[in-house]
Amino acid sequence: MSIIDVVFTAIGALRTNILRTLLTMLGIIIGISAVITLTAAGEGAQQGVTNRIRGLGSNLLFVRPGSVTTAGATGIPGSGPSLFYEDAQAIAAQQYPYIDSMASQGTAGGAGSIIRAHVIYRGQNVDTTIVGTEPSYEHVRDFYHADGRFISADDVSKKALVTVLGANVAQKLFGSKDPVGESVRIAVGAGSFTVGFSFTVIGVMESKGASATADQDNLVFVPLPSFQARIPFIRNPRGFTNISQINIKLSDTSKVHQAKQDIAQLLRARHAVSTDDFTIQSQSDVLSTATDVARTLRVLLVSIAAISLVVGGIGIMNIMLVSVSERTREIGIRKAVGAKRRDILMQFIIEALTVTTLGGAIGVLTGIGLTRILQRDFSFHVNLLVASFHVAVNGSTYVITPLWIILGLVMSAATGLVFGVYPAWRAARLDPIEALRRE
């Protein structure tokens, strides 16, 4: 028999019991749809994190305080009061040739902080994060004002009570009204202890979206000295002023390692410590960590989905063994009229491959469909250059690439081949005389 005859014979055998064939496919459909959906979620999460990290700026180093230890327990990095504005001034005084510019910042409020920050205007109250910073912040972080102006050197020297609102904050407080020149009250506190001051709005930032650390459109900027003078939570008994981060923009990305070494050596000497009480990270460090996490998550998701394929494969093997048992007499007749072992073997392997491949194709379509069902506001974007399309789902992005579609189909075919060989081998080894005696 030719391969075409074998294929048509196998398909005909499957059509004789269509319900059983569909039920056999179900495990493969579930497994492949799970692979497509979960890997799309993983790819989308990784791209989202990558875009947020890149949204912080370019060629950056982040110097942050180390961890605080309480009752023997070490907190998260950045929780310790071990980074000061004077440290930033000392770094700037070194005039390292590879540093383009720097901007210190202190923050109050935001997710995970016990200190809450609010901006109030005529009864409207927005929960936000206050950032005290310097005029160079715009250039260092590639984050510019869209209306009015940003903090100036004059604002810093005078400790002016001026503020620049993030795009979302301005929208929530003022709507379509121009906020520049208006007065808002900024309140910062922990528990029942809150301090508040009136600030004049001098500008509104461009809309930039969320970064790796915060929603940049929900930030409110004030001059760093104004922030330091009016928020008592950041003052240090040693007379220094605590800051939460030093942003350093490098002019030469090849000097990242040297920059880390030089700055670390300077800070160790200033803090008189042998063990670093600060952390220095580059964007590539943050991106590498996020990529490792995303890769681990993707492997976990694919492993979970693969379990469904194994279960589906076992179901296929079981059904194929039942089919061999039911069709023993048919196999005997075919052998009696001249069918060879390889013809019988190929027939049952092709039956298994047909079930799994067709199930895999349905599973791929089901997986793509699930990403559309889960959405709230559906948007579809095709990009032929990167061979992918994006589906916005409840604020998340599912990225479905042809690679995973092809792998899904290959995995389904491989499942049919692996779990269909044994039943096919049993059918091919049947003795025709014994098979013809079977009722």
Shared domain check, 161 and 300: no
Please write the tens of the pLDDT for every residue from 110-158: 766 777 888 999 888 999 999 999 999 999 988 899 999 999 999 999 9
Residues 251 and 152 in one domain: yes
255 and 132 in one domain? yes
User: Kind and range of the H or E element at 342?
Assistant: helix 341-373
Q: Quick one: pLDDT at residue 378?
A: 46
Model confidence over 199-221: pLDDT tens digits? 999 999 998 876 555 678 999 99
421 DSSP β-pair partners: none
Task: Identify whether residues 293 and 373 lie together within a single domain.
Answer: yes
The label of the residue with tokens 């070194």 reads 94
Average per-residue pLDDT for the chain: 78
Which of 276, 311, 332 is a domain's end point? 276
Q: What is the mean pLDDT of residues 395-403?
A: 71
Residues 138 and 251 in one domain: yes
pLDDT for the residue 16: 73
Is residue 390 located within the same domain as residue 350? yes
Specify whether 33 is located in the same domain as 110. Answer: no
Q: Which of 66-75, 103-112, 260-269 has the highest mean pLDDT?
A: 260-269
Residues 44 and 182 occupy one common structural domain: no
In a domain, 68, yes or no: no
Handedness of CA 312, 314, 317, 321 (dihedral sign): negative
The span from the CA of 1 to the CA of 347, in Å, is 10
- Looking at 276, 303, 328, the residue that finishes a domain is 276
- Angle among Cα 383, 297, 357 to the nearest 5 degrees reads 65
Structure confidence at residue 51 (pLDDT): 63
Average pLDDT (2-28) is 72
Tokens of 1: 């028999």
Are residues 172 and 223 both part of a single domain? yes
72 belongs to a structural domain: no
Domain-ending residue, one of 221, 243, 276: 276
Residue 58 lies in a domain: no
> Is 25 inside a domain boundary?
yes
Does residue 63 form part of some domain?
no
**pLDDT of the residue at 81:** 59
Query: CA 66 to CA 403: how far, in whole Å?
Result: 42
DSSP per position, 183-239 = EEEEEEEETTEEEEEEEEEEEEEPP--B-SSSBGGGEEEEEHHHHHHH-GGGB-TTS
Q: Please check whether residue 217 lies inside any domain of the structure.
A: yes
Q: Are residues 258 and 168 in the same domain?
A: yes
Residues 350 and 389 in one domain: yes
Count of domains observed in the chain? 2
**Domain containing 417: what range?**
3-53+288-437
Compute the Cα dihedral for 311, 319, 341, 360 and give only its sign. Answer: negative
Task: Answer yes or no: is 64 within a domain.
Answer: no
**pLDDT at position 438, please?**
58
**Residue 59 in domain:** no
In DSSP notation, 252-302 reads -GGGHHHHHHHHHHHHHHHHT-SS-SEEEEEHHHHHHHHHHHHHHHHHHHH
pLDDT at 173 over 70: yes
Which has the minimum average pLDDT: 178-187, 200-209, 283-292, 393-402? Answer: 393-402
In a 3-state reduction of DSSP, which class is residue 404? helix
Residue the block writes with tokens 């491949």: 357
- Sign of the CA dihedral with 50 first, then 52, 54, and 59 last: negative
Q: What is the mean pLDDT of residues 221-226?
A: 92
Q: Under a CB-based contact definition with an 8 Å cutoff, are residues 246 and 104 in contact?
A: yes
Phi, psi of 280, deg, nearest 5: -125, 120
Together in a domain, 266 and 121: yes
Cα-trace Rg, the chain? 32
Give the list of residues 6+ apart from residue 285 with CB closer than 8 angstroms, or none: none
Which one has a higher pLDDT value, 231 or 197?
197
Say how far apart CA 201 and CA 76 lie, in whole Å: 34
